[in-house]
Structure 1
Amino acid sequence: MDARLREGVRLFNAGRYFDSHESLEDFYHRAEEENKPFLEGLIQLAAACRLFVDFGEVQGPVRMVRQAMIRLENYQPGYLGIRVKRLIRAMEEWADQAEADSGAVKGEIPKILLRRFFFFR
């Protein structure tokens, strides 16, 4: 996994959604064209989470999360070291709950999980 992508994921998982967005956007500008739609989904996800956490908005961020998940659909089960299938499932559940609870799930935004590789000798 590219170090810049890993840093964007690390920042996202630390709840630093603005910084994650900036880091992912920086990586996006240097990425190969084939990776850009996937990165757009992650960038949109970071922006949505920032709006939700920092500004207390619910409807806009939930809509953005759902749009981001549509962008990521074609990259299941995993892509660029990210467990996309799990991310989509977790974020869809989160969006459903955020809508139902009017944003009461503020501290429970799912993490972006990375794929683990095991090497045998």
Structure 2
Amino acid sequence: MHTDTLDPALRQGAELFNRGEWWEAHEAWEPVWMEAGGERRHFVQGLILLAAALHKRWHHGSTGLRNYHKALAHLEPLPDLYGGVRLRQLEQQVLQALSQDGMYPQLPVGAPHP
């Protein structure tokens, strides 16, 4: 999936996420999260938690659901399209990946980030 419509600060993490390198995506997004405030902080925190949930599922045998539900608390108040990412579609893909072997979600991108 093309990441050129994303917020530029999130692109590296998005590319890692889309390759299934969830821990590395988490690490790439962390500096963005540390600098962010308000809705943007919740958005990036949600992405980090989704990546952590997938990492735990595939590398530690955990269901990852605890981090998934924490992520929802950050993402659900945001509009469906935020920061160039279609959040509801992403949430659904991650939930499926946590319960089905062989599922690797991709960050669903939408309109360009302003």
Q: What TM-score do you get using the length of structure 1 for normalisation?
A: 0.76
Is structure 2 residue 87 aligned with structure 1 residue 67? no
Query: What corresponds to 2:109 in structure 1?
Result: 114
Q: How far does residue 43 in structure 1 lie from its aligned partner after superposition?
A: 0.7
1:67 and 1:33 mapped to 2: Cα distance? Answer: 17
1:92 and 1:51 mapped to 2: Cα distance? Answer: 13
Query: What corresponds to 2:7 in structure 1?
Result: 2
Query: What corresponds to 1:86 in structure 2?
Result: 89
The answer as to whether partners of 2:16 and 2:24 remain within 8 angstroms in 1 is: yes
Q: How far does residue 83 in structure 1 lie from its aligned partner after superposition?
A: 0.5
Letter in 1 for 2:102: G
Query: What corresponds to 1:39 in structure 2?
Result: 44
Give 5+ residue unaligned stretches, structure 2.
1-5
| CA displacement, residues 67-113 of structure 1 (integer Å, 9 cap, x when unaligned) | 21232111131101001121123333444xx1xxxxxx232032211
Bigger radius of gyration: 1
Moved over 3 A (4+): 92-95
Query: What corresponds to 1:101 in structure 2?
Result: none
| Residues 70 and 34 of structure 1: CA distance in aligned 2, closer, same or farther (over 3 Å) | closer
Q: What TM-score do you get using the length of structure 2 for normalisation?
A: 0.80
Give 5+ residue unaligned stretches, structure 1.
99-104
Structure with higher RCO (Cα < 8 A, 6+ apart): 2
